Amino acid sequence: MMLIRLILTLPVSTATTEHAFSAMKVVKTRLRNKMEDMFLRDCLLIYIEKEIAVGFSTDAIIDEFNTTDRRVDFE
């Protein structure tokens, strides 16, 4: 029974992993090779979830950016 469960879950996880690596190949080009991990993660999230990102208004994003505190903490 455990073997059948394992076999049934492998294609889903493999497809998800392949999709993520394909997205990374598109997002992380030679010119963007020095990206920080957080920025790469954010770019990949937007690329993979582009159906959701299409609904965002540019003006709403700019307004949200303007209302945030952007002080830099130097430790």
Q: Where are the domains of the chain?
A: 2-67
The tens place of each residue's pLDDT in the chain, 75 residues long, gives: 677 777 666 666 677 778 888 888 888 887 778 878 888 898 898 898 888 888 888 899 899 888 887 777 776
The structure's pTM equals 0.56
pLDDT at residue 24, as a whole number: 87
pLDDT at residue 15, as a whole number: 76
What distances in angstroms separate CA 4 from CA 13, 16, 69, one per listed residue?
15, 20, 52
> Which of 28, 60, 25, 23 is CA-nearest to residue 45?
23
Helix, strand, or coil (residue 34): coil
Residue 65 DSSP code: H
